[in-house]
Amino acid sequence: MKEDHKNEFMSWVKTIIFAFILVFVCRQFLFTPITVKGESMSPTFEDNQKVVISKTSKIERFDIVVFKSPNMKDNYIKRVIGLSGDKIEVKDDVLYINGKAYEEPYLKANKEKILFGQLTEDFTLEQNTESSRVPEGYYFVMGDNRLQSYDSRMFGFIAKDELLGEVKLRVYPLGRSGIIK
């Protein structure tokens, strides 16, 4: 009977160790939870919301990503605007990528709050980064709250290896939880 308790105990220990290893591998290589800090992505994401990022996603234009801050120890959450080789410009509050105008429906709520002026100041990539195109292996990112976002317009491009992953799921607050598209 004592042997049965010992076997059951060892079975539980093995199961718990396996669970910890599985969680560690998933967090390191597949996905991880992140807490949003700041208002730069408002209203898409608010301060202290919890999201899950995928570390295996292929990053595309307008994806929301988390990356290591270029200037601090924190992580930033922003929207990918420019991919390698892209030419970026904003003129009269319209985003142009490689000469083509793009609608940014995620900016609508912030644009409605402005009494006068523009949400996004006019700029060209060259004015802000001294490069006419996004270099190979880099991204150009901006926050949705353009008036209060510290992003590539100020600190330049983000290297692909600085990316932690793409935001795939909002888990908190529960009333706004769901898959991010």
* Residues classed as catalytic: 40, 78
Sign of CA dihedral 171, 174, 176, 178: positive
DSSP element (H, E) containing 167: strand 163-172
Around Cβ 94, how many Cβ atoms within 10 Å? 14
DSSP characters for 20-85? HHHHHHHHHHTEEEEE--SSTTTTTS-TT-EEEEESSPPP-TT-EEEEE-SSSSSEEEEEEEE-TT
**Nearest Cα to 140, choosing from 129, 29, 149, 148?**
129
